[in-house]
Structure 1
Amino acid sequence: MSQFDVAIIGAGMAGASLAAEIAAEKSVLLIEAEEFPGYHSTGRSAAFWSETYGGPAIQPLTTASQAFLATPPTDFSDRGFLSPRGALHIGTVENQAAAEELQTNFAASSVALERLPKKAIDEYLSGRRDGWDIAMWEPDCCDIDVAALHQAYLSSARRLGCEIVCRAPVRALNFTGGYWKIETAAGGFVAQMVVNAAGAWADEIAQLAQIRKLDIQPFRRTMIQIEVAPSAPAELPLVVGLDGSFYFKPDAGGRLWLSPHDEIATPPCDAAPEELEVAIALDRFEQVVDWNVVRIERKWAGLRSFAPDRKPVIGRDSQNEQFFWLAGQGGFGIQTAPAVAQLAAALLLQRELPFEIVPALYSTDRFR
């Protein structure tokens, strides 16, 4: 069996980014169950970076990731992964308290948020219907080139010697004599450390390793691509409901990406959209703006996995310190990937972080 210092299970954004961070110092195996990396959550992301997304507990990781995403090291990428977009958080008078809470939650942070007067909202969203008069403007929100970022991490990991094995679902994990024996559909491997970056399957991997599960729950999130009339302007911001019931953003050719912001608990699976959620998304959209939906061009669903407290789980397991959790990234795993990877690498390699984060916030110790 091939032997490695670290075996990372899951080659989505979490696993790929950590592999790139540690492969210069450790021999790394990146194990992917699917035919190619990023098949599930990473490949189905809504692709935006917003410091308010995920709430105050996630914001430090998002903010700490901004510099890397905007201006990555030249040996990692010759261009950045962010494009300015801006986010309009909008609601009716019934959402007044939600607007105030949003502002309060980030008042002590560096996050830029501005309360917009009613007459200024039309500068960002023409065609809004009557009553949608409460709005907060988040100017620093950006689009993320998710595919380019993921491929850059995979390429960096390969250059540094990481071995990537696809079509290799894990069948058994046994800890013997200080090493993990890993049985997969692509063969057997041995590693001193196992990193559980399996996304929606994180608890299943833990149970294979005879590690207590942490109740990492996958939720289905629906997305549709629609053609509207008039065409969506290219400069349209990300538009988010203050009540958390929808968001939409422009895509190429005047199209829109639209989600009902649903969270439907589901077992780990290859998620598919439900017609009811598609209908709900369209209904909520048509309540906000008077644009006509010409047709639905595409629809898909992805899984967002959360720990019970909705914070990521990053750190060694108390049962076995050679089992490392990198799970529960929810819907913010892309926008926080650089900081999360650096935090995980610091914990694995016992090195200092380049930014101020309290690791205990995300440690497995909080579940004791």
Structure 2
Amino acid sequence: MNQYDVAIIGAGIAGASIASEIADQRSVVMLEAEDQPGYHSTGRSAAFWTETYGGPQVQPLTTASYGFLSDPDFTFSEASFLMKRRAINIARSDEQLLVDQFIAEFAESGVAMTPWSKNEIGEVVPNLKPGWDHAVYEPDCCDIDVAGLHMAYLRDAKRKGATLLCRMRVEKIARENGVWAIHSGGETVHAKQIINAAGAWAAEVSALAGALPIDIQPMRRTMVQLQTDPESSPEMPLVVALDGSFYFKPEAGGSYWLSPHDETPVPAGDVAPEEWDVALAIDRFQSIMDVEIRSVNRKWAGLRSFSPDRLPVYGFDPKQPDFFWFAGQGGFGIQTAPAAAKLARSIFLDVEREPSVRSLEAALYDPVRFAH
């Protein structure tokens, strides 16, 4: 009882995806602190797949995930997780340099992108205010069915024999008789190896295990849903400010989802939107869209967790060889989930990589880079 090959701490998209990838080879338990998996980050995602999000060193993970997301094996899902959206990365009339830098940054990536004029922008973004004269168009951007993907991973992990235990907040980790003893409340789970997929709590988990002290910093991200007059068009693309100040996209019922793209450092925990950030999101939205805001339908906040170099951390800990990092996935953890989990599988199980992830540079994400 309560003895496993692998204990995965966290059952959001990170924990669920790696469980799905390894549960046919190891006995696996997922330890989730909340009443349900994905409560803090996965369930509060803006739900899009765009190759440039996260920068050029994250882009290969996103690109490598496309095939799985768009056409999953029928045993995993009978439907695609993607729906075409398109994106434009937009800049003001005096920000041509941002356009040039953005295109140069991804010049060798193979990402489909085209510079656009203000006339082309106006054709797809009705009610655009003057002054937004430059954009880079990404035709391949898609919406992601985040809940569907997460549930499919959990379902697949369960089918392969993984156990999910909720309300299991880890309080103590110790080595006992050569295995990990993970304590939560009055229960103890034993496992030969730990996978740290704890998201915003990843640094706390590593400290409990005596692993490398990588500062995985939780950041609050604010989202707002607005109803406007006129309403949003369902065909409108995702609109992203090249200066990093906002993004928005149309949502069901003629509303908009928008964010001020905030990254406020916060302690790991349940976060709520700050009124200042909501007002900032609305102000930035009004700087580009000539529409009347009729109501704020909903506002929420979620956690995005970044390592010091803003790249994810995948691999065995150099201090604790039976402790594996699968954390620091920023705001791109959903769109990179398939490739990240397949890459992690190959490292964790020491097996050959699948074709879709063979070209990825695993060293970019290895925790050893933080071992000073």
CA distance in 1, matches of 2:280, 2:85: 25
Inter-partner Cα distance in structure 2 for 1:309 and 1:94: 30
Question: Pairwise mapping of residues 9-88 of structure 1 onto structure 2 (< 5 A)?
Answer: 9-88=9-88
Q: Once the 2 structures are TM-superposed, how far is the Cα of residue 124 of structure 1 from its aligned partner?
A: 1.2
How many angstroms apart in 1 are the aligned matches of 2:83 and 2:127? 25
What is aligned with 2:226?
226
Match of 1:191, SS? strand
**SS of the counterpart of 1:366?**
helix
Counterpart for residue 332 of structure 1:
332
Correspondence 1:105-254 to 2 at 5 A: 105-185=105-185, 187-254=187-254
Structure 2 residue matching 1:93: 3-state secondary structure? coil
Alignment of 1:88-99 (within 5 A): 88-99=88-99
* CA 1:272–1:228: 2 relative to 1, 3 Å: same
C-alpha contact 1:168 1:186 (8 A) present in aligned 2 = no
Deviation for aligned residue 1:176: 3.0
Q: 1: distance between equivalents of 2:165 and 2:132?
A: 50
Question: What is the deviation of 1:213?
Answer: 1.7
How far off its partner does 1:289 sit?
Answer: 1.0
Q: Which SS does the other structure have where 1:35 is aligned?
A: coil
In structure 2, the partner of 1:274 is: 274
Q: What letter is aligned with 2:214?
A: L
Whether the 8 Å CA contact 2:305–2:329 is kept in 1: the answer is yes
Deviations 1:309-345, CA, capped at 9 Å, x for gaps: 0000000000011000111000000000000100111
Return the TM-score normalized by structure 1: 0.99
Secondary structure of the corresponding residue to residue 288 of structure 1: coil
- Name the counterpart of 2:366: 363
> Measured at CA, do residues 186 and 126 of structure 1 come closer, stay the same or move farther in structure 2, by a change above 3 Å?
farther
- Bigger Cα displacement from structure 2, 232-241 vs 181-190: 181-190
Equivalent residue for 2:2? 2
- Is the 8 Å Cα contact of residues 212 and 318 (structure 2) preserved in structure 1? no
Which stretch shifts more, 57-66 or 121-130? 121-130
Contact residue 167 and residue 185 of structure 1 kept, 8 A: no
- Runs (4 or more) in structure 1 with deviation over 2 Å come to none
CA distance in 2, matches of 1:260, 1:199: 22
Aligned-partner SS, 2:171: strand
Q: Identify the range of structure 1 (77-86 vs 116-125) with the bigger mean alpha-carbon deviation.
A: 116-125
Aligned length: 368
Distance 1:338 1:75 in 2: 15
CA distance in 1, matches of 2:62, 2:177: 39
Task: Name the CA distance, whole Å, in 2 between partners of 1:146 and 1:364.
Answer: 27
Q: Give the whole-Å Cα distance in 2 for the aligned partners of 1:210 and 1:366.
A: 17
Determine helix, strand or coil for the equivalent of 1:94. Answer: coil
Match of 1:101 in 2: 101
Q: Share of identical aligned residues, percent?
A: 53
Paired amino acid for 1:242 = L
Aligned-partner Cα distance in 1 for 2:272–2:201: 17
| CA offset digits 1:55-91 (Å, max 9, x no partner) | 0010000000000000001100001100000001111
TM-aligned CA deviation for residue 186 of structure 1: 6.2
**Is contact 1:249–1:258 with CA below 8 Å preserved after alignment?**
yes
How far did 1:93 drift?
2.4
1:291 paired residue number: 291
Task: Summarize deviations over 1:117-166 as a string: whole Å, max 9, x none.
Answer: 22211111111111100111000000000000000000000011100000
Residue aligned with 1:174, SS: strand
Q: Secondary structure at the match of 2:29?
A: strand
Q: Does 1:300 align with 2:276?
A: no
The residue identity in structure 1 corresponding to 2:182 is I
SS at the partner of 2:174?
Answer: strand
SS at match of 1:304: strand
CA-based RMSD: 0.9
- Asked if structure 1 preserves the Cα contact closer than 8 Å seen for 2:91 and 2:135, the reply is yes
Supply the distance in 1 between the matched residues of 2:238 and 2:127 (Cα, whole angstroms).
Answer: 15
Of 67-76 and 353-362, deviating more is: 353-362
Q: Structure 1 CA distance, aligned partners of 2:197 and 2:30?
A: 10
The answer to whether the 8 Å contact 2:93/2:131 transfers is yes
1:311 counterpart letter in structure 2: L
Q: Secondary structure at the match of 1:109?
A: coil
Query: Aligned partners of 1:78, 1:185: CA distance in 2, in Å?
Result: 39
Q: Structure 2: 5+ residue runs without aligned partners?
A: none
